[in-house]
Structure 1
């Protein structure tokens, strides 16, 4: 019989009901939950022929101490890592891999998996020897992403990076000491983003296996970001660069207007605000210091802005004498 583990939280339980290859063995639902999400769990459990028991919330607390289960637990088979062969396919332009070199905090790993799934990552790669496993805490923090994103554990990470280079991937590592920033490099095409461990960063061999090292520019006094936050910043910069170029025609017309310096968002049916008028020359010190910009319903020509809460009232801008 397969080894089982407990997962908790509605995101994780719904994900294993909807997307996991193996259905849960049993679901435990707190008797205090009778909301929409609880009804969704009941319906999916019935559809997939999964046993569901309603129990006291205290029983859930005993079975999963310290886990924020939200009133639902599921007994599932221990998730096996995907085979390394998943990585060793011909690189495609849209491929994006995330490598986590020694992330051992379960909350950080779960948050990285959640962001990776949201960003459409092809697979997440971990070393077998320096990483936390797929515990209940990881799967709860991942909010269902652990069941949806391919996860590969490799024996030798440096050798894996070399193999990925041979397949056509560009390896980009995050290093706070690098002179190049994340926004200086091209992240389109088949790309591998490498994040180091909390506090220690990447190991030497992992760093040497990267084609290029970049840093996230820091404007304040904080020297570094949490690894899950840094992963989110890097992944979504890659997502941004991979978006089709070109602005929508309506925004481009607004941007080209000689009176408006940037696209102006408007509510449906409303006209863009008129440009701010220049200060009138006057000898009066009071008039020099005050400029009023008024917006009335008639000028907006919009029936949806009759409520005073939508109205842009007269604003007084004060300037130094």
Structure 2
């Protein structure tokens, strides 16, 4: 999923109509493949928008069931050439001639979030988290936690595909996710609105016990191998460390993300 039309880094120049169109598009998540689409259509909590089918699909029980379920939920059913469908799914090798647009009300653009900026927020941001299982588990933790949202750049992280959906246990469809083209730019924009940014790093100046409980806060999780990038660390005002015993150097990023997401619930006096 990506923002379209092309993102404008100066939201003040965007017209109200343009922003409205971007915000509506940002809520659409496209999944593909017969099993993921079938499972999604079977969930009562999911709001399908459009079912896309390749016109080369042979009539079959599974395809007919998809069509019936999509229509019963008020979704449009559209037919495309195989080439056109591959442009929608962006994965011609695995889409199996099927794609589904889902309306995720928790998805929004950074511009939309800025237009309704809360006085206090805790945001988890991900910097080049490339493992789909890790990203899915982070999404699940953020969705279940008191955090406001997950800040997810369009480039550099794992794609929101069937593997992420499975790892999130379906939380992806109801999570609050802010999409941005560039993480560094997004952090700087939120800092201009008074946010503090904390990069997760060994030996950080802050720990989970002394993080702020009010204000606007961003907590950045890094790549599975290299951690938070040097540029993002430079942009952030602070670093955040998780003390560990027995000479363990680091935690899996999804575990670290869970600890950060729930930190305010388990603060000791």
TM-score range, shorter chain: 0.5 to 0.7
Q: What's the counterpart of residue 48 of structure 1?
A: 73
Q: Cα deviation per residue 1:73-92 (whole Å; 9 max; x = unaligned)?
A: x9522779632213313542
* Shift in Å, 1:224: 0.7
Match status 1:207 vs 2:233: yes
Cα pair distance change 1:159/1:15, threshold 3 Å: farther
Which of residues 182, 192, 206 is equivalent to 2:218? 192
1:219 lines up with 2:219 in the alignment: no
* Runs (5+) with no aligned partner, structure 1: 30-43, 51-66, 68-73, 246-321
1:6 aligns with 2:33: yes
Q: Which has the larger radius of gyration?
A: 1
Looking at structure 2, the residues matched to 177 and 103 of structure 1 have their Cα atoms a distance apart, in angstroms, of 21
- Using the TM superposition, give the Cα deviation of residue 132 of structure 1 relative to its aligned residue in structure 2, in angstroms: 1.2
> 2:146·2:262 contact (CA, 8 Å) conserved in 1?
no
Shift of 1:14: 7.3
Residue aligned with 2:49, SS: coil
Task: Tell me, yes or no, if structure 1 residue 128 matches structure 2 residue 154.
Answer: yes
Give the whole-Å Cα distance in 2 for the aligned partners of 1:85 and 1:108. 26
Summarize deviations over 1:213-267 as a string: whole Å, max 9, x none. Answer: 11011022321110000000011003445xxx9xxxxxxxxxxxxxxxxxxxxxx
* Deviation by residue 1:243-292 (Cα, 9 ceiling, x = unmatched): xx9xxxxxxxxxxxxxxxxxxxxxxxxxxxxxxxxxxxxxxxxxxxxxxx
| Higher RCO (CA < 8 A, seq sep 6+) | 2
Q: Is 1:77 the counterpart of 2:70 in the alignment?
A: no
Provide the TM-score with structure 1 as the length reference. 0.54
Q: Secondary structure of 2:258's match? A: helix
Offset at residue 187 of structure 1 (A): 3.6
Deviation at 1:120, TM superposition (A): 4.0
Provide the residue aligned with 1:271 in structure 2: none
Question: What TM-score, normalized to structure 2?
Answer: 0.64
Contact 1:17/1:48 (<8 A) preserved? no
Report whether the alignment pairs 1:150 with 2:180.
no
Structural mapping, 1:232-271, within 5 Å: 232-240=258-266
TM superposition shift of 1:178: 1.8
The 8 Å contact of residues 48 and 70 in structure 2, kept in 1 or not, is answered as no
Matched-pair contact (CA < 8 Å) for 1:103–1:109: yes
Q: CA deviation at 1:45?
A: 7.8
CA distance in 2, matches of 1:127, 1:174: 17
Secondary structure at the counterpart of residue 44 of structure 2: helix
Q: Residues 100-111 of structure 1 correspond to what in structure 2 (within 5 A)? A: 100-111=126-137
> Which of 44, 51, 67 is the aligned partner of 1:17?
44
Quote how far apart the aligned CAs of 1:160 are.
1.1
Number of residue pairs matched by the alignment: 211
Structure 1 CA distance for aligned equivalents of residues 102 and 73 of structure 2: 19
Q: Distance in 2 between matches of 1:236 and 1:94?
A: 16
- Quote the Cα distance in structure 2 between the aligned partners of 1:106 and 1:123: 18
Structure 1 distance, partners of 2:248, 2:35, is 34
- Describe the shift of the 1:167–1:144 C-alpha distance in structure 2 as closer, same or farther (beyond 3 A): same
Gaps of 5+ in 2: 1-28, 54-60, 63-68, 76-93
Provide Cα deviations, 1:178-229, integer angstroms capped at 9, x if missing partner: 2432212224332211111101111112112212111011022321110000
